[in-house]
Amino acid sequence: MAETMMAVVHELGNPLLGFEKFSSNEVDLESLPLEEVFEQLNTSRGGLSSSDAAERLQLFGANRLQEKRENKVLKFLSFMWNPLSWVMEAAAVMALVLANGGSQGPDWEDFLGIVCLLIINSIISFIEENNAGNAAAALMSRLALKTKELDASILVPGDIVSIRLGDIIPADARLLEGDPVKVDQSALTGESLPVTKRTGDQVFTGSICKHGEIEAVVIATGIHSFFGKAAHLVDSTDVVGHFHKVLTCIGNFCICSIVVGVILEVIIMFPVQNRSYRNGINNVLVLLIGGIPIAMPTVLSVTLAIGSHHLSQQGAITKRMTAIEEMAGMDVLCCDKTGTLTLNHLTVDKNLIEVFSREMEKDMVILLAARASRVENQDAIDMAIINMLADPKEARANITEVHFFPFNPVDKRTAITYLDSNGNWFRVSKGAPDQILNLCYNKDDIAEKVQIVVDRFAERGLRSLAVAYQEIPERSRHSPGGPWILCGLLPLFDPPRHDSADTILRALDLGICVKMITGDHLAIAKETGRRLGMGMNMHPSASLFGRRERDGESAATVYAVSITIRIVLGFVLLASIWEYDFPPFMVLIIAILNDGTIMTISKDHVKPSRRPDRWKLNEIFATGVVMGTYLALVTVLFYWAVTRTTFFETHFKVRPLKGNVQKISSAMYLQISVISQALIFVTRSRGLSFLERPGALLICAFVVAQLVATLVAVYATISFASISAIGWRWAGVIWLYSLVFYVPLDLIKIAVRYILSGKAWNLLFDRKTAFTRKNDIWKEDRDARWALSRRDVQRRAFSDHLLSSSTPSSRTRISDQARWRAEIARLGERHALRASVESVMRLKRVDSHVIRTAQTV
């Protein structure tokens, strides 16, 4: 015995018994004979000893999936580790080290300001993402099963487990000797009916035993199980999402723009203009600090975090926040059928029941089928039939059960022997049509008709269940009884959810094409598609080869690109043409105030697009470059008017600023701050900005930021920042100047989009504005296409010609008629109420001949 134990321990000490041997599929425990499975696992039908189990627990690990957890500190630091942050960090180092020259000390003010800006942005991003993660975790805990569970985490390969009715199988296992069991694998495969498993078959983690009792030997646990491997692959996937690619692309564009500006400025300032070292460094800092949209990653992450929180309030779990952005650009939605579009519960379609006995009605066929079903410990079919009764107790009402014959894979039927209230003996059986037909005395006469009905059900994806009965004159459970009489055939179907059809139509209205993917038979898929209004144009796989948040993100990215171009181009022109040096500290103040305002875009009332909205980088860059160039030229024009003309002094009676560099810097600071922040109202709107009211939070942030900027320009005199107070009169002139040049920004935005897509005027009237009451100008065309795609195959060629040559009004009429036909057809099928159908037809003014000759698919 000791030698055996030593051998087992020796084998356990070999790593091949653990991860390499089984994880690398070197030993296929799923297909080996059971005796070889026991041999490979060094176990027996008696199971493992406590010491063996402890050894294997150390080797294989606990039977649970390890949740991937992030280090909070590293998560916080990650917000400072991106290309945009690197540039700001380089600017901080430059302010501390490179600026230490020209008989002046380090620029501590700029250094501390840059560091504070980085830390504040990182803190905001970290808090919002952490809150979103906590909301998702809280929702998952609320949705978790509230059941008492035993600790199955100590299971190891080689253990023997007992599986009974209702048990959730805790690990991948091979069944030992015993009667067949039924296992529900719908969570893994999507199959709504339980699967029969026999001795030697494999059962998977997470499946549920629906019938029977048997023992099994564990062959895989934890992440080595079938379900564990799939979950581990999902968790270990580290694919860079489209959102991060776009963010990187925009960041690279901004960085490249700054690099080009710095190179041009350095070439012009030092070799050409022979500027001093410290002035040159200050101008470079202006480009680095002002040109980098350091708040853009924070704004986008905060926007996604808020979207994740909103989704959690609606009952949706967001495991990866970038999924919200990707969902906003989705135009094709692939849906699972079982449990998603359907209820994952079989039901009987009463309207389609085929009765074969003249003495019976459909209700009686259902009642007899319910009597041949279990009232306790029901399988899916029994439950579907019992649920057809008004009260489940009717299945045993007024009868006395004598004997119940349970389902088995050989006979493929159930049967009950009972006494009715008059003392008469009957036997009822339900099961596979061919098995029930073989019992009937007149099977030769009705076989063809039965097969026709079964085939008709199968064409529509319905499973057939036959019901028959016999009298027992001998009044004995063992007697063969009288002739069997076929009562009828019941169609079984997994019905759609009550809201699936409406949800699909709403998705179509939003421009999303819904595709159904299922492992069920093609006929079942077509029937489900027909009932959901998805059409029946389906094929086997062998023959095939968050918008609101998105709009807030788009506004932030266009704004970021515009500000980068505006800062780089504007200050390069000022430094190159007039050798003007703007103080870096004031650029830092502008960046801080702008970041505080741009943060609120994440909670702004941006109107979401009604169509799938993808990242259009060409449009983002083009719009940002054009508007940034415009703003830069506006600033250059303002500087020229202040320093080279007397326009403002003549028309507004203000004191001249010529020769006073500090006052000019204050005026430039206020002009840049006002027009830069006002730009956010243009980028957030799809049409004219003054027609789309922003949220109160954004308005308040803008007012507070610009009030601070105005007070600084009016009253502040700061020597190290090189600014001096300019008074209220100049502040009013600057606000008026900015307002005048703000108005063309909307026209520039629309013009750029029109040039790029030709649809800018549609964007102008995309919402309910003063010019139009239409919600979606493309909805009529989309409805017409949706309707025409569901026409009969024989009419498809004509439909294509009609679509290409029809007018918008005719397409609207086609769409409306198609919807009316679909509504009438559904009423007729569901209720078979001719009067109701005719009343709807009269209401919609649709000819009944149209319904018969132009069926929708």
Nearest one of 619, 706, 591, 628 to 293, comparing CA atoms: 591
pLDDT value of position 548:
44
Q: Give the tens place of pLDDT for each residue, 154-180.
A: 777 888 888 887 788 888 888 888 878
Q: Under DSSP, is residue 751 helix (H, G, I), strand (E, B) or coil? A: helix
Are residue 298 and residue 259 in the same domain, yes or no? Answer: yes
57 and 80 together in one domain? no
Which amino acid is located at 641 in the chain? A
* Residue 307: predicted pLDDT: 67
Q: Are residues 162 and 104 in the same domain?
A: no
Between residues 793 and 765, the one the model is more confident about? 765
Average pLDDT of the residues in 175-204? 80
Most confident of the following: 395-399, 532-536, 622-626, 778-782 = 395-399
Domain limits for position 485: 347-493
Which of 274-278, 453-457, 564-568 holds the top average pLDDT?
453-457
Residues 795 and 614: their CA atoms lie apart, in Å, by 34
Which has the minimum average pLDDT: 267-281, 314-328, 576-590?
Answer: 314-328
> Which residue would you say has higher pLDDT here, 450 or 55?
450
- Residue 305 in any domain: the answer is yes
Judgement on whether residues 608 and 678 belong to the same structural domain of the protein: yes
Q: Where among 445, 476, 493 does a domain terminate?
A: 493
Band (pLDDT 50/70/90 cuts) for residue 602 is low
pLDDT band of 607, cuts 50, 70, 90: low
Question: Do 83 and 51 lie in a common domain?
Answer: no
pLDDT of 412 above 80: yes
Q: What is the pLDDT, as a whole number, of residue 54?
A: 76
Residue 458 banded pLDDT, cuts 50, 70, 90: confident
Same domain, 54 and 82: no
- Does 717 reside within a domain? yes
Residue 738 lies in a domain: yes
Decide if pLDDT at 11 tops 70. Answer: no
CATH number at residue 176: 2.70.150.10
Q: What is the pLDDT of residues 198-257, one digit of tens each?
A: 888 888 888 888 877 888 888 888 777 777 777 666 555 555 556 666 677 777 777 777
Would the pTM of this model clear 0.85, i.e. be above it? no
**534-557: average pLDDT:** 59
Whether 52 and 82 map to the same domain: the answer is: no
Q: Looking at the predicted structure, is the pLDDT value of residue 608 above 60? A: no
Number of domains in the chain: 4
Is residue 317 included in any domain, yes or no? no
Q: Which residue has the higher pLDDT, 49 or 3?
A: 49
User: Is the pLDDT assigned to residue 827 strictly greater than 60?
Assistant: no
Token duo for residue 126: 């970290």
Whether 191 is covered by a domain: the verdict is: yes
CATH number at residue 458: 3.40.1110.10
The per-residue pLDDT for 428 is 93
Would you state the structure tokens that stand for residue 616, as one six-digit string?
A: 């259009």
**pLDDT number for residue 489:** 92
Taking the C-alpha atoms of residue 782 and residue 93, their distance in angstroms, rounded to an integer, is 56
Q: Are residues 639 and 578 both part of a single domain?
A: yes
- Does the residue 508 lie in any domain? no
Q: Is 699 left (phi over 0), alpha (psi -120 to 50) or beta?
A: alpha
Least confident of 490-499, 776-785, 815-824: 776-785
At 148, phi and psi to the nearest 5?
-85, 125
Q: What are phi and psi of 616, to 5 degrees?
A: -105, 90
Q: Is the pLDDT of residue 551 over 70?
A: no
- 422 and 456 housed in the same domain: yes
Within a domain: 501: no
Could you list the active site residues?
336
Cα 568 to chain centroid, rounded: 38
Which of 172, 189, 220 lies at the terminal end of a domain, its last residue? 220
Residue type, 1: M
Q: Let me know if 236 is exposed, middle or buried by CB neighbors in 10 A (0-12, 13-18, 19+).
A: exposed
pLDDT digits (tens, 9 = 90+) for 264-276: 777 777 666 677 6
- Mean confidence (pLDDT) of the chain: 72
Q: Let me know if residue 209 belongs to a domain.
A: yes
- Tell me: do 462 and 600 sit in the same domain: no
b or e along 138-172 (b: 16 or more beta carbons within 10 Å of the residue's beta carbon)? ebeeeeeeeeeeeebeebbbbbbbebeeebbbbbb
pLDDT digits 0-9 by tens, 133-145: 655 555 455 544 4
CATH number reported for the structural domain that contains residue 257 in this entry: 1.20.1110.10
Tokens coding 857: 């698919």
Does one domain contain both 124 and 267? yes
User: Which stretch of 231-245, 279-293, 388-402 has the lowest confidence by average pLDDT?
Assistant: 231-245
Mean pLDDT value across residues 836-840: 45
What percent of the chain has pLDDT above 70? 63
Of 757, 788, 808, the position where a domain reaches its end is 757
pLDDT of residue 301: 67
pLDDT digits (tens, 9 = 90+) for 418-449: 998 888 899 999 998 888 998 898 888 888 89
Strand partners, 333: 514
Residue 785 and residue 821 in one domain: yes
pLDDT band of residue 618 (cuts 50, 70, 90) is confident
Express the helix, strand and coil content of the chain in percent, nearest 5 each: 60, 10, 30
Region 817-841: mean pLDDT is 51
pLDDT tens-digit profile of 704-750?
Answer: 888 888 888 888 887 777 788 888 888 888 899 888 888 888 888 88
